[in-house]
Structure 1
Amino acid sequence: MAEIQENNNKEKKGNKQKKMNIRVDFTPMVDMNMLLITFFMLCTSLSKPQTMEISMPSNDKNITEEQQNKVKASQALTLLLGEDGKLYYYEGEPDYKNYASLKETTYEASGLRKLLLSKNYEAVKKVRELKDKKARLEITEEECKKEIASVKSGKNTPTVIIKAMDKSTYKNLIDALDEMQICSIGKYVIVDITDGDRFLIDNYLSHGELSQKATDRNV
């Protein structure tokens, strides 16, 4: 609100012009601002934190190595995150004698994503159907989440084992984990890389020279 104050100077009778001082009162603006802040706080939804579920290996010492390797070889896929952005993988159990059993791919859609989609095609198809049902309001969000979790953990879905070398980057690991979500991989773990995995990479880069030398020594 504005208030006009007249300043009459009686001493100067000859001056007929009146001087007015205008003072603006901003007190109501403070109340209005508080009402607006309260309104936006109540009506605006807060951003939800983006989380990612990760399965880590158990620290239970009673679990034997045989129990840890119960994954079917036909459904297991091991990713080896190498240095300089390199990505290697092998299916099933490692073959230390055949360097060609280890293959190289990329983190791009035409590389790792294409590989995972080919291994998990049926699950990806079912997940898309469930999301379409939810969009058409045929099922609730809770039902959709429950069904998707069941599909991802199905018997015929692949199990991805992620192993990172010391010189691999966090970006490589995050890119690999992103592909797990995109390709609806429900069973994946992050474990430490072993000496055998390092041998596979070195043997692959040497085109089998290391395995050949080991064979020659045994002969």
Structure 2
Amino acid sequence: MMETNKKIRSKKLSTKVDMTAMVSVSFLLIIFFMVATELRKPKIMDLSLPDKYYEYKGKIICHMDTGNRVITVLLDDNNKIITYSGIYGLSDQLPKKMDYGRTGIRKELINQQKAILEHSTALGKPKNGAIVIIKPSKKSNFRNLVDILDEMAIAKIDTYAIVSDFSPEESKLLASN
């Protein structure tokens, strides 16, 4: 028998590594950290407080030297809006019943904003516009709230708040109209 001196060679493996999966994972991680960083940023809202305040019937009431900037909008059922300026009961203006649209609440808000800005500009504070308090009643629908927020944007009123509590006087005012 003939003996052969063959060496048994091992099979050489490829040194190339498939990086497709690694690239996919790295892009997913990059996207995750970008989104997580964006969501982690604090969301803040500007808060402007008046310089002076006083107490009335056990409650702290804000008083502005620039004139009365506060407009309250009460929303009720059947698309009913009642608006008044200042503090109810302390203002010399009577509440007004309004409708939605160009000739209703929009016209009133634009006129009030214009008058308040003119008054503020005369006092050297040109950016002090109207402050609107929106109070939807339990009987008002979501569409009314969306409509009044649209009116805020149209009238260019930047400072407004949605408040859910009614004073007893405001509840009586809604019931009487």
Structure 1 alignment gaps of length 5 or more: 1-53, 57-63, 126-149, 206-219
Identity of aligned residues (%): 27
Contact 2:69/2:116, CA 8 A, preserved across alignment:
no
Q: Say if 2:89 is the partner of 1:116.
A: no
TM-score for both structures, normalised by structure 2: 0.55
Taking structure 1 as reference, are residues 124 and 179 closer, same or farther at Cα in structure 2, changes over 3 Å only? farther
Query: Which residue in the other structure is 1:199 paired with?
Result: 172
Query: Which residue in the other structure is 1:165 paired with?
Result: 137
| Counterpart residue type for residue 169 of structure 1 | N
Contact 1:81/1:172, CA 8 A, preserved across alignment:
yes
Across the aligned residues of Structure 1 and Structure 2, the Cα RMSD in angstroms comes to 3.4
| Counterpart residue type for residue 191 of structure 1 | V
Structure 2 alignment gaps of length 5 or more: 1-44, 48-57, 119-124
Contact 2:70/2:86, CA 8 A, preserved across alignment:
yes
Question: Residue 88 of structure 2 aligns to a residue in which SS?
Answer: coil
TM-score for both structures, normalised by structure 1: 0.45
Taking structure 1 as reference, are residues 123 and 70 closer, same or farther at Cα in structure 2, changes over 3 Å only? closer
| Residue 78 (structure 1) aligned to one of 54, 72, 78 | 72
Taking structure 1 as reference, are residues 124 and 113 closer, same or farther at Cα in structure 2, changes over 3 Å only? farther
The structure that is helix-richer by fraction is: 1
- C-alpha distance after superposition, 1:158-210 (max 9, x if no partner): 1100001101010000000001111110110001131331112224x3xxxxx
Counterpart-to-counterpart distance in 2, 1:117 and 1:95: 24
Counterpart-to-counterpart distance in 1, 2:135 and 2:83: 10
State the 4+ residue runs in structure 1 displaced beyond 6 angstroms.
122-125
Q: How do 1:32-181 residues align onto structure 2 when only pairs under 5 Å count? A: 65-66=59-60, 69-70=61-62, 72=64, 74-95=68-89, 101-121=94-114, 154-155=127-128, 157-181=129-153
- C-alpha distance after superposition, 1:20-72 (max 9, x if no partner): xxxxxxxxxxxxxxxxxxxxxxxxxxxxxxxxxx999xxxxxxx941xx3254
Counterpart-to-counterpart distance in 1, 2:69 and 2:88: 13
Taking structure 1 as reference, are residues 122 and 105 closer, same or farther at Cα in structure 2, changes over 3 Å only? closer
For CA contacts below 8 A with separation 6 or more, give which structure has more relative contact order.
1
| Counterpart residue type for residue 147 of structure 2 | D
